[in-house]
Amino acid sequence: MKTVQIIVTGRVQGVGFRYFTVRCANDLGLCGWVRNLPDGSVETAIQGQGEKIEEMIKLLKQGPGAANVSGLEIKEIESGSEELSGFAMRF
């Protein structure tokens, strides 16, 4: 089990990016959460199998149709961190 924190930058707020993230994560069987940040970026924590996380990263780079992703900052989280269940939108 792997956990990563990802900050997505670009035009990613007000374009359905969080809903897109939740849908993709659920389709891939990943756990975690996603939220908007005050600086206009989106933060997500994703937990699951490595290959599924890699698929998710590819999807996040594309984003939904109205988004314009300019970058992803990816950080792996220590394996001793909390175990997540389901995928939630945080506010």
Which member of 11, 23, 35, 36 is catalytic?
36
Angle between helices 50-62 and 17-28 (to 10 degrees): 150
Look up 18 and say whether it is catalytic.
yes
Closest by CA to 36, choosing from 58, 59, 67, is 67
* Beta bridge pairs of residue 6: 44, 74
Catalytic residue among 18, 23, 26, 90: 18
Q: 26 catalytic, yes or no?
A: no
Active site residues: 18, 36
